[in-house]
Amino acid sequence: MRRTLHAGLALAVLSTAPARPAAAEDLTIVSTVNTPRGTTRTQTQYLSGSRLRMSGEERDTIVDLGSGKITLLDNRRKQYSETNLVELRAFLDQMDAAMAGRPLFDRAIGATASVAVEKGPSGRKVAGYDTEQHTLTMGESMRMQVWTTTALDPPLHYFDARKVVYATMGSMGRRFDRVYDEMKKIKGFPLATALDYRMRVTRRQVSTEATEVRKGPIPRSTFAAPADYTKVESPFGGGRPPRPSP
């Protein structure tokens, strides 16, 4: 399994924070993703009480927002690994130490640049919901447009959990810490995004838009690894110091 890193220090609060109110409805959100390679795929989010699952074609991420347990699924290899906040925090500390003293690399990816937020003049309908548009920028390294609806409430620490999805980007994924921290301040649930970001010497674009929002109970089995998947070592364990991306 590919080594993953970067979950964000903000995830540390998940282990002690209360879950969202029990009265909140479970949500299943189906979205269409246009990838940097020009292909289209389907992404499904399952939100239930204190649990969240983000499903794609090859990899799924399951986050227990109450305990902080994270399960990473590799659907191609039928493998899964488990990690926790203590392990993630230790790994992030190692990553920060490995990145120290590399200002040229940091300027190249804009990992520590501040995030500017600007509200757009008008929104649009997404999956039948009225939305408002905001633009978040990090200098020249990243620009994200987001359309949010106030008709749906994001679960507590939803945006912190979303950072885990960008773990495979390594040190370049650190930018998403700041972007999602600012997104927390925007009222409502994000139903569509359009992202343009720099990746080494190239630029990439990816857009995501919800096509269906379903309300109703989600089986608990949705938030567990499939029985025929093999458990493998956590990519965050073993005391292996991380190496910054070149």
pLDDT, tens only, 122-159: 889 999 999 999 999 988 888 999 999 999 998 877 88
Q: Give the model's pLDDT for residue 45.
A: 97
Q: Give the model's pLDDT for residue 239.
A: 46
Beta strand 59-64 with 70-74 is antiparallel
Find the domain containing 107 and state its range.
9-231
225 CB-side CA count, 13 A: 20
pLDDT, tens only, 25-41: 899 999 999 988 889 99
pLDDT at 237 over 80: no
Tell me if 104 is assigned to some domain.
Answer: yes
Domain count, the chain: 1
| Residue 2 vs residue 214, higher pLDDT | 214
Q: Which of 53, 52, 68 is nearest to 18 (CA)?
A: 68
End-to-end CA distance of the chain: 20
Q: Give the model's pLDDT for residue 12.
A: 38
Prediction pTM value: 0.79
| Residue 24 vs residue 23, higher pLDDT | 24
- Which residues contact residue 121 at a Cβ distance below 8 angstroms, ignoring those fewer than 6 apart? 133
Query: What average pLDDT does the structure give for the chain?
Result: 80
Tell me if 240 is assigned to some domain.
Answer: no
Tell me if 67 is assigned to some domain.
Answer: yes
pLDDT at 16 over 50: no
CATH code of the domain covering residue 143: 2.50.20.10
